[in-house]
A = this chain, B = another copy of it.
């Protein structure tokens, strides 16, 4: 199995942005040092849910401070980017990292982010499709591209630099619909599967993915899925849950608020009343090294051999996250590698 880190740099009430960035970057560099395979950054705007708004810029910084981890976006929200600017930024990070970029893309879901950019959220699927079409055209040639679209039109654009990985960095799409999975199967793009879903839901997603691969004439061995999971390893299950459950509930509760938000007031303070039902409890990699290995084994049985760990949960202290990373690297990673 490959194991990555998944980061959003949340900004809990009362915390300092500079400290939060500092801690997140330290954790990412430590993951590189400990032998993890990748670091993935979310893109969020205008809220405490995640203050990495320009994920490729942060990945450029990490390109300089890490030596082997793959550097990914999970995801770049295509409807909110000018596709030519995104092509330029992605190629720049690919050059700076000597070909270590994985470009995860998605449609976005927070109404406040779309309103904040003056983009109608109802257009998100069409914008995603058009932006992706432009990226494909730009990557298909070194020469100038002209485009006349609904959202973006331009003449003779030949974005520079070109990506280091040719024809372009690996694409990963956040999708679990039959159409989306069929496209990934046909184009040989990877699939990003979200955290916060039970393994039963993940199993259904992987079943649809296998069907999509079959439809493209491929066996299930061609599946390339990266599954995100909240994770926290401690010496015992009881300690892991005692330390991580509160921050995880805060995180999920706030995410849920932003998903439903239609005004600028989506900023709850204090402990979230969000309920962790059995499914959600089951979805988190919280526990002792043995427990987490068992859960990874169950994930592997679904045909998934890439997992990104979301450790930077709400108010969970930096020192505890570093300890958890360390314990994971010593007591889980060697076994996970062999799964």
Contact = CB atoms under 8 A, between A and B. Distances in A.
Given A57-B89, A92-B54, A96-B21, A117 B47 contact: no
Interface string A99-127: 00000000000001001111000000000
A267 B274 CA distance: 59
B159 A45 contact: yes
Interface in A53-72: 53-54, 56-58, 60-65
Interface of A: 11, 17-18, 21, 25, 44-47, 51-54, 56-58, 60-65, 81-82, 84-85, 88-89, 92-93, 95-96, 98, 112, 115-118, 144, 152-162, 164, 263-264
A63 B22 CA distance: 13
B154 A54 contact: no
Contacts of A95: 17-18, 21
Contacts of A164: 18
Given A57-B93, A64-B64, A88-B54, A155 B116 contact: yes
A93 B56 CA distance: 11
A45 B160 contact: yes
A148 to B, nearest CB: 9
A60 to B, nearest CB: 4
26 contacts: A17-B162, A18-B164, A21-B95, A46-B144, A46-B159, A53-B159, A53-B160, A53-B161, A54-B56, A54-B85, A56-B57, A57-B89, A58-B60, A60-B60, A60-B61, A61-B61, A61-B96, A115-B154, A115-B156, A116-B154, A116-B156, A116-B157, A117-B154, A118-B153, A118-B154, A155-B264
